[in-house]
Chains A and B, each alone.
Chain A
Amino acid sequence: MEPQIDWLTNLYVFVLASFLGLELIHKVSRLLHTPLMSLTNAISSIALVGSLLLAGSGDSLIAVILGTAAITASSINAVGGFLITDRILRMFRKKNGR
């Protein structure tokens, strides 16, 4: 793991991603706010990457225990989140005719 934080680059990414997020989310129809939230929730399980690095380092017992717990928690979030979003979206149908 890198010891030094690359503050400037990280802030760049953070600020630009936040503005991009605000723009994109504003365009989402209110109809889809529930699946939107479950999608972004699933995306936030990107914490999985940090959890994998921690558990996989095998550095110490504490890394393995906390890392394994963190992977379990964030993979519940990821798997469940993407699956239910799809389940919700499948229900949105437009009927022709009437």
Chain B
Amino acid sequence: MVDLWVQLAYLIAAALFILSLKWMNEVRTARLGNWAGTIGMAIAVVATLGKPEIHSFLWIGVALVLGTAIGTPMALLMPMTAVPQRTALSHAFGALAAGLVGTAEYYLRGSSLGAGATAILCAEVLLGFLTFTGSLLAFGKLHEILPTRPILYPGRHFVSFAVLGLAILTALWLAFVPTAHGVLFGFFIVLALLFGVLLVLPIGGADMPTVISILNAYAGLSASFMGFLLNNKLLILAGALDGSSGLILSIQMCKAMNRSFLNVLFGAVGHVVETAAPHRDGRSIQGYTPQEASTIFEGARSVVIVPGYGMAAAQAQHVVKEFTDRLSSRGVDVKFGIHPVAGRMPGHMNVLLAEADVSYDRLVEMEQINPLFPETDVAIVVGANDITNPAARTRPESPLYGMPILEVDKAKTILFIKRSLATGFSGVDNDLFYLPKTMMVFGDAKKILNELIAAL
């Protein structure tokens, strides 16, 4: 009887999770969606605690209090620029839980599990632990504790595939040879942890949006597989929802870079960083002062700002907002052109600009903003590079060729704010720098924008 109530509660939680994603589709209902998810989770936890199988509550209480005590400050105190790293860390924790539960299941009832059950348990543990180490590494790179450039070594593809292959073989052995035992399972866990590291090691900063999305999907799938083992439909459903979300986001990120999954994971762009020094063909670039640059705003009616990771790195979003207000007060129409992979995670730029109190109807997606560039008086690029490079349209030999870009080059004038003359993540020189209508201003984005505001 109790079990029926628990199942009904799970059904309600499942419905709330579905509503929560549905309401997430637009800003108006998104907060309601988050509440639906929160309540669904609360119902699921309370219902589980009501199950007759649970008879010791001490450690559950300790762990819940501890988790809340750590999770709350992590969410409330972290600055918005740190959202990508927090997300990576959160993926790590969720996946660790799935891995640990799977591990305990194996040691507690491994001998009574059939081949199919062991195989799905291994899938849960593999995804759980590889997401754990992979996400921790992603966290380290995003938080710049570790170098953000791709870490490459000779023969890395071979090593990665060998470790993954060995892990799969071990899993098959565990599933189909009933005499297999604990030591081999321990070896399997080590392989999973190792593969997570190998997966993220060669990933550089600009590929993080894709990788974070993939790790998001893996964490969900791992929870879903746990549901198979426990015959728990709520786990299967919630995990599958998370899995499909991560999948869609990573596909969209790949499309926005015109690259395949495998290409992102096995890092062709990394090679370019190593080898190709930009050849400038004897062309030279002239830098201007902010005061000189401020003249291009005389008579400007429309401005499009293109932000990139550099804006986040310089924490310049608030100054950008101030600058926007200054222009608006002169009657200039200001919009933002947001590239899907700008920043370090999907939607990163939108969050930063929303934090700085920029009205979200000014944040325009790439497809909508591109037709507007020819009528734009000034396009301002702040801390972005590759996503504006016209080589993506014009130079078939460029590694960026085919990537959808923000067509800044079609604007009447371009103001390019850049820390230094270094190339973007791809290591490719940007043709925009050499256009006669481009004004380059070098230095810290915050400082330059402040001087521009003063000069206007």
Contacts and interface: CB of A to CB of B under 8 A. Distances in A.
Nearest to A71: B63
A89 to B, nearest CB: 5
B108 A56 contact: no
A9 B237 CA distance: 12
Interface string A56-91: 111110111011111111111111111111111111
Contacts of A90: 31
Interface in A39-57: 39-57
Nearest to B218: A44
A14 B236 contact: yes
B300 to A, nearest CB: 16
Contact of B101 (A22, A41, A67, A92): A67
A39 B94 contact: no
Interface stretch (B42-50, B260-268, B424-432): B42-50
A22 to B, nearest CB: 5
Contacts of A48: 41, 44-45, 48, 97
Contacts of A67: 59-60, 63, 100-101, 104
How would you classify the secondary structure of chain B's contact residues: helix, strand, loop or mixed? Answer: helix
Given A49-B235, A52-B49, A84-B86, A35 B68 contact: no
A55 B328 CA distance: 58
B241 A21 contact: yes
Contacts of A85: 34, 37
Given A39-B24, A93-B354, A17 B104 contact: no
Given A13-B233, A49-B45, A76-B71, A34 B348 contact: yes
A1 to B, nearest CB: 7
B403 to A, nearest CB: 17
Given A63-B108, A73-B100, A76-B71, A41 B91 contact: yes
A47 B345 CA distance: 24
Given A7-B116, A29-B27, A47 B226 contact: yes
Interface in A7-32: 7, 9-10, 13-14, 17-22, 24-32
Contacts of B86: 80, 84
B438 interface: no
Nearest to B354: A91
Interface string B240-276: 1111111111001000000000000000000000000
Given A34-B347, A46-B223, A53 B239 contact: no
B98 A47 contact: yes
Given A24-B22, A52-B48, A80 B90 contact: yes
B390 to A, nearest CB: 23
A49 B198 CA distance: 30
Contacts of A53: 48, 51, 53-54, 230
Contacts of A35: 24, 30, 34, 347, 351
B21 interface: yes
B59 A55 contact: yes
Interface string B64-76: 1011101110111
Nearest to B343: A34
A48 B98 CA distance: 8
Contacts of A77: 71, 90, 93-94, 97
Contacts of B90: 38, 41-42, 76-77, 80-81
Given A72-B66, A81-B90, A89 B350 contact: no
A14 B41 CA distance: 19
B248 A26 contact: yes
Contact of A18 (B66, B109, B229, B243): B243
Given A35-B34, A77-B97, A49 B234 contact: yes
Given A34-B348, A50-B232, A82-B37, A14 B25 contact: no
Contacts of A73: 67, 93-94, 96-97, 100
Contacts of B71: 75-81, 83
A41 B135 CA distance: 12
Contact of B68 (A52, A56, A66, A79): A79
B216 interface: yes
A27 B237 CA distance: 19
Given A44-B94, A45-B94, A68 B346 contact: no
Contacts of B70: 72, 76, 80
Contact of B74 (A10, A62, A72, A80): A80
A4 to B, nearest CB: 8
A33 B68 contact: no
B193 to A, nearest CB: 15
19 contacts: A2-B230, A14-B237, A31-B365, A36-B245, A36-B346, A40-B220, A42-B41, A46-B41, A47-B226, A54-B104, A66-B101, A73-B97, A76-B67, A76-B70, A76-B74, A80-B90, A81-B90, A93-B354, A93-B357
Given A24-B18, A46-B235, 16 more contacts: A21-B242, A34-B351, A37-B213, A45-B97, A46-B234, A47-B101, A51-B97, A52-B54, A56-B57, A67-B104, A75-B67, A78-B41, A80-B70, A85-B37, A93-B354, A94-B27
